[in-house]
């Protein structure tokens, strides 16, 4: 009896691996704020706020309707995030398909790992931002009493 070995290549696992790596890199680039616009100066922000308050008060006193604010355009960073998370989902699915097709296990495992890592990196980043925001809010509220002494 002759044993024949099945020479299978990890097609789904390889494509999933590349999608997972690309998605993880895209998430890290997006977190680094590379796609964010340049920040405005403090004076410019205060000036725009004062002009908005003035126009709002003038419209309220004269009885005019307030103009509708235009919807903000979708930023490049948001598009990159959506595409990266879709690629991460594709990496997970392709890794699962590779495991189902009995491909060599290394690449499908790595595809699933990189895909899950992209989701978790995004989740952990926003969780850290939330915790820092809550800590900042608590410190401001604790020091609020000392401002009026």
Confidence at residue 147, expressed as pLDDT on a 0 to 100 scale: 62
Confidence at residue 1, expressed as pLDDT on a 0 to 100 scale: 56
Among 77, 103, 78, 81, residue whose Cα is nearest residue 17: 103
Quote the domain boundaries for residue 84: 9-36+75-142
pLDDT in tens, the chain (149 residues): 566 666 677 788 999 999 999 999 999 998 887 767 777 777 787 777 777 878 887 887 787 877 777 788 888 888 989 999 999 999 999 999 999 998 888 999 999 999 999 999 999 999 999 999 899 888 888 887 776 66
Q: Is residue 27 part of a domain?
A: yes
Q: Is residue 85 part of a domain?
A: yes
Residue 107 Cα distances to 20, 67, 99, 102, 125, angstroms = 11, 56, 9, 11, 26
Among 126, 109, 114, 128, residue whose Cα is nearest residue 85: 114
Half-sphere exposure of 14 (CA within 13 A, CB side): 6
**Structural domains in the chain (count):** 1
- Quick one: tokens of 63? 């009885």
Task: Tell me the C-alpha distance between 27 and 32, whole Å.
Answer: 9
Q: Is residue 59 part of a domain?
A: no
Decide if 95 contacts 111 (C-beta within 8 A). Answer: yes
Q: Is residue 68 part of a domain?
A: no
- Quick one: tokens of 53? 């308050």
Q: Is residue 101 part of a domain?
A: yes
Confidence at residue 53, expressed as pLDDT on a 0 to 100 scale: 79
Decide if 58 contacts 51 (C-beta within 8 A). Answer: no
Q: Is residue 70 part of a domain?
A: no
Distance of CA 112 to the CA centre of its chain: 19
């Amino acid at each position: 009896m002759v044993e024949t070995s099945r020479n299978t290549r990890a097609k789904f696992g390889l494509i999933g691996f590349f999608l997972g790596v690309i998605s993880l890199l895209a998430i890290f680039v997006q977190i680094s704020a590379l796609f964010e616009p340049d920040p405005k100066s403090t004076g410019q922000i205060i000036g725009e706020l004062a002009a908005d308050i003035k126009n709002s008060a003038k419209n309220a006193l004269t009885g005019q309707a307030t103009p509708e604010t235009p919807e903000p355009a979708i930023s490049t960073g948001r598009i990159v995030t959506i595409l990266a998370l879709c690629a991460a989902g594709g990496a997970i699915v392709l890794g699962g398909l590779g495991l189902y097709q009995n491909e060599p296990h290394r690449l499908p495992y790595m595809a699933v790992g990189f895909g899950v890592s992209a989701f978790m990196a995004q989740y952990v980043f926003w969780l850290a931002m939330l915790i820092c925001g809550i800590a900042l809010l608590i410190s401001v509220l604790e020091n609020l009493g000392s401002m009026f002494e």
